[in-house]
Amino acid sequence: MGEKTSSRCCCCSWFIGIIVLIAVVLAIVFTIRHNKANKHPDDGGDITVPGSVDKNYADALKIAMQFFDIQKSGKLENNKVTWRGDSGLKDGSEAGLDLSKGLYDAGDHMKFGFPMAFTATLLSWSILEYGHHMDSVHQLDPAKDSLKWITDFLIHAHPSANVLYIQVGDPETDHKCWDRPETMSEKRTLTKIDTETPGTEVAAETAAAMAAASLVFKQSDPKYSSTLLKHAKELFGFADNHRGSYSVNIPEVQSYYNSTGYGDELLWAASWLYHATEDKTYLDFVSKNGEEFANFGSPSWFSWDNKLPGTQILLSRLTFFKQGLSGSKGLQGYKETAEAVMCGLIPSSPTATSSRTEGGLIWVAEWNALQQPVSSAFLATLYSDYMLTSGTEKLSCGDTSFKPSDLRKFARSQADYMLGKNPEKMSYLVGYGDKYPEFVHHRGASIPADANTGCKDGFKWLSSEEPNPNVAYGALVGGPFLNETFIDARNNSMQNEPSTYNSALVVGLLSSLVTTSSSLKSFK
């Protein structure tokens, strides 16, 4: 009897084992099918589980985020940068304002409102689209903190409806010094726009920044969000009702951030205000003014000066996701031009741009060469994700069609080049990889924190043959020449100077690539 019992138990075990094996096989098959159905089709390679983190991009993102802290002016809170301290504490005092916060523009100590507002708009857009990606690698809170550091400044810089302070410091005076921000002694003059001296570009870009940021803080800080939105509406009204180029009205800015026109900023600001308010007035504005300002059918490069490609992608979001607007005649020109921008980026497209290095990097300008490839790659991932999320299978470029994965592959190629996959084997993101610039054109990084130097005697650090004593982690330098060479020299500001708006662009790009899940349908 004992033997029979033993035999039956053996059979039971064998039977149960078969059932378990079948269940495991079925689970594996289901998982593979589920992953195939839901994977982000990166480059047509191995299956990637949605939401999995790419360690390389995650590490790069964590480093890139640090540059915002390096650039902070004012009374620093929870300062983690050992060689930075409080600075610019009296900025704005001559007008009775507290303009101590904000970010220094680049390797100098200027606060230029135009590119700083663009930095805030791009950082907001990145958080809105890819905040869940940032959160997965613990970078969402740092991003929001850096954004608020800028918007706090912008709020104080807008003391009344038709007045906006757009610059702290005189660049001529500032650039005659080589010193640390903590010890700078040069006069911090202020520049403003108002009804007598309008500056539509800066007012509109600042309106865009405020509107986009209002969406970022809508849930976490409703009161602050409402304050931002109030400023955004006032600034857009100021920009639209008192039109005039700040570059024309304030010629001194032309040597630094010369604007080529304000129509793009008006469209950009109205687009962001529509997203923030859903007030049809702003949608009507972009529809009615498209023919005059949008340059339909002519793809261009996204930058601090040209917001048209960004506007075209942002408004395409509405045609992808907002019911009732997909066939809107007023938005059709934006969508078609956005498609043309995307078609120009994919290397195998019949309308692909020839503005590339042999290694495949988009290359448009000698100064700050990486701005266009990084901004283009960011827009490409956005559009790719809009296609994926909306179930749009192809993008038609002439007689050829492309998939979302083709856009993402292009974006990855630009990111990888930037991070070291280039002829110089150089990572242009300082602090990432084994080889990156050591002589970055950046005053604070080039001068030891304990050095006792003034305005003039600090220039010995500019001409020093030693690497920077402080690493400007997260700085994205200007980048290579067309022949893909790069000179790591401190006086090579053309190639080796970082900027805060570059950082906003690279944070957006890396955030889009850091995990494999696609865009959300709504910011709300």
Give the pLDDT confidence of 257-278 residue by residue, as tens digits: 999 999 999 999 999 999 999 9
Residue pLDDT, tens place only, 176-206: 999 999 999 999 999 999 999 999 999 999 9
pLDDT exceeds 60 at position 25: no
Can you tell me the distance from the alpha carbon of 261 to that of 111, in angstroms, rounded to the nearest whole number? 21
Residue 517 Rama label (left phi>0; alpha psi -120 to 50; beta): beta
Instruction: Pick the closest to residue 378 from 21, 149, 121 (CA basis).
Output: 121
Q: Where are the domains of the chain?
A: 40-513
Can you tell me the distance from the alpha carbon of 320 to that of 324, in angstroms, rounded to the nearest whole number? 10
pLDDT exceeds 70 at position 386: yes
Cα separations in angstroms, 420 against 61, 436, 439:
15, 8, 17
User: For 362-378, what is the mean pLDDT?
Assistant: 98
pLDDT exceeds 60 at position 39: no
SS3 category, 87:
strand
DSSP 8-state assignment for residue 514: S
Number of H helices, E strands in the chain: 20, 5
Q: In terms of pLDDT, which residue wins out, 21 or 484?
A: 484
**What does the block give as tokens for 357?**
């290095």
Which of the following is catalytic: 40, 158, 275, 441? 441
Torsion of CA 363, 365, 369, 370, to 10 degrees: -60
β-partners of residue 401 are: 396
Residue type, 419: L
Q: What is the predicted pLDDT for the residue at 11?
A: 37
Can you tell me the distance from the alpha carbon of 102 to that of 36, in angstroms, rounded to the nearest whole number? 45
Q: What is the predicted pLDDT for the residue at 258?
A: 96
Q: In terms of pLDDT, which residue wins out, 515 or 7?
A: 515
Q: What is the predicted pLDDT for the residue at 330?
A: 87
pLDDT exceeds 50 at position 8: no
- Annotated active-site residue 441? The verdict is yes
SS3 category, 230:
helix
Q: Which residue shows structure tokens 């800028």?
A: 150
Quick one: CA dihedral 94, 97, 100, 101, positive or negative?
Answer: negative
Instruction: Pick the closest to residue 166 from 130, 202, 211 (CA basis).
Output: 202
User: For 359-367, what is the mean pLDDT?
Assistant: 97
Instruction: Pick the closest to residue 478 from 375, 360, 369 (CA basis).
Output: 369
pLDDT exceeds 50 at position 46: no
SS (H, E, C) 364-397: CCCCCCCHHHHHHHHHHHHHHHHHHHHCCCCEEE
User: For 51-76, what is the mean pLDDT?
Assistant: 96
**What does the block give as tokens for 147?**
């954004």
Instruction: Pick the closest to residue 113 from 38, 216, 208, 238 (CA basis).
Output: 208
Alpha helices in 175-279 (DSSP H): 200-216, 222-241, 246-249, 254-257, 263-277
Neighbouring C-beta atoms of residue 237, cutoff 10 Å: 14
Torsions phi, psi for 339 (to 5 deg): -60, -40
Neighbouring residues of 127: CB distance < 8 A, sequence distance ≥ 6: 134, 140, 143, 144, 147, 216
* Whether 447 contacts 469, CB under 8 Å: yes
Can you tell me the distance from the alpha carbon of 288 to that of 266, in angstroms, rounded to the nearest whole number? 12
Q: pLDDT class for 411, splitting at 50, 70, 90?
A: very high
Quick one: CA dihedral 72, 505, 123, 79, positive or negative?
Answer: negative
Instruction: Pick the closest to residue 388 from 276, 523, 512, 301 (CA basis).
Output: 512
Q: In terms of pLDDT, which residue wins out, 516 or 129?
A: 129
β-strand 400-402 against 395-397: which pairing, if any?
antiparallel
Can you tell me the distance from the alpha carbon of 54 to that of 513, in angstroms, rounded to the nearest whole number? 8
CATH number for 40-513 (one of 3.40.640.10, 1.20.20.10, 1.10.3720.10, 1.50.10.10): it is 1.50.10.10
DSSP 8-state assignment for residue 163: B
Residue 335 burial (10 A CB sphere; 0-12, 13-18, 19+): buried
DSSP string, 183-198: G--S---EEEE-SSS-
pLDDT exceeds 70 at position 40: no
